[in-house]
Structure 1
Amino acid sequence: MKKLCISVVSLLVIFSCGKQNLPDKVEEHIKKNLGDNPNKQQIEELLISGQVIYGSRPEEAKKYFEAAAKYDPRGAYALSDYYLEKEDYENFEKWVKQAAEGGDSRAQFNLGYYYDERNRLEEAKRWYIKAGEQGDSEAQFNLGIIYFNENNWNEAEKWYLKAIQNNHSKAYNALGRIYSEEKRFKEAEYMYLQALESGNNSWQIYSNLGYLYYELGDYSKSLKFLEIALSKDKENKVINCNIMKTKEKLKKYDGITINRKNCKK
């Protein structure tokens, strides 16, 4: 999951290595910055201070985040990260929900993902939508997957298109698959080729293009892309089966015995 990212707007207090206990200095620093009515800069300093010492002194960093969480959802988000690393999922959910309800898009995505992994899909959709509406492309893409699996292809298309607008390369392939299933082959071809142009060179793209051209009756082009897919995953059953069928259409039998063998695995 994503890490806390805070822009520095004030100078960080550097802790000295004196005789005073570091936890005491943390408490003193928190009290100094919070007071009765902390301003934005003081809250920011607490967040920054916690982030700076988090790697070496996470327990003390947690105190900063707890203090900041009363005023800023980023503090709650940082606490959720702390508990996630400890695999304390009850406290993770508590704090990530507080941050998400405070409008932190990273927390909204993480909470959606947390529910998604546990198959609590209605809750996952709720938080993915909130993150997606703030432009989180991963949330948009994951929404597309959920709706696709629910056979709600109109909603899946909507969210994949949003993810594409935010340069999510995998969304091209996913949307191409929808168009291919709907026999919208030209649109599917465009999406698959855009996926390649965006840098997604997975075997799935080439395999999908191979299947597309097979459906269009362009067997030579189909074989070309299927063989590229096979070079990336030699024993893939689906690719080998499709190559075997395509070679039979072309009456090209070179290597077909191996394809047939791997097709039957």
Structure 2
Amino acid sequence: MKIDSHQHFWHPARGDYYWMEGEGAKPIRRPIGPDHMRPLLKAAGIDKTVLVQAAPTVVETEYMLGIADATDFVAKVVGWIDFEQKSDLKHLERLAKHPKFSGVRPMIQDLPDPEWMHRKDIQWAYDAITDLDLTFDALGYAHHVEPFQRLFDARPKMRIVIDHCMKPVIREGKFDDWARGMEKIARTTPVFCKVSGLATEAKPGWTVETLKPYARHVIDCFGPERVMWGSDWPVLELNGSYPAWHGAATEIVGASGAAQIFGGTAAKFYRIG
């Protein structure tokens, strides 16, 4: 079974995709649903996907679960709750009962305070995620590596996956600090990592060789058993295409570990049967 561990659907008219308001998102500011993705999956031989939140609202999570209920290839949904509202525990407990709900992703990359994740008033959310045996997608930039390291150290029992390799600054050729941080996370924590989103962080016209050092570093540090491939489609369309990224990743991964990276690891982490 081949799995795309990270993709999105949305309908901008719903009104809660605030990040789409700028000119940069204009190429993907349109309704996107399962029928748009199905031919891409078929061409790449992908069987199942993990649908990930793109708006910081509980109602968007419910919208995605509705899509998942009606879509055979959507295996799991990663949603959102408001960590700053402890009353949202009731939503998390309710959502956890849905067979396709996996966990949550706070949009930490968009918050001005890199230490937000350590606020005392949001610790209840990590407790609840752990107690309910849900997943946590860690979304941040390269400068979040160290704060996330401390969070991962403090929460060894929480099921965690890093999104988009923690977004290294590929367009500027920055590597060393990010690489050291990711190596430490891999060595000292049980956290998983998605090889996804790299094309978006590169300059236009990227090649396999542009992305390979970053992807291989993650694979070599975490090992195929803790790495999963994701498309980040349709955000991917801002600087690439599904076939181009899938093809590049296939070449970078090679034969060794491919079964895990393109399916087995995501199946294990997200419990896709």
Asked whether the two chains share a fold, i.e. TM above 0.5, the reply is no
TM-score, normalising length from structure 1? 0.28
Comparing both structures, which one devotes a greater share of its residues to strand? 2
Q: Which has the larger radius of gyration?
A: 1
The structure with higher relative contact order (CA 8 Å, sep 6+) is: 2
Comparing both structures, which one devotes a greater share of its residues to helix? 1
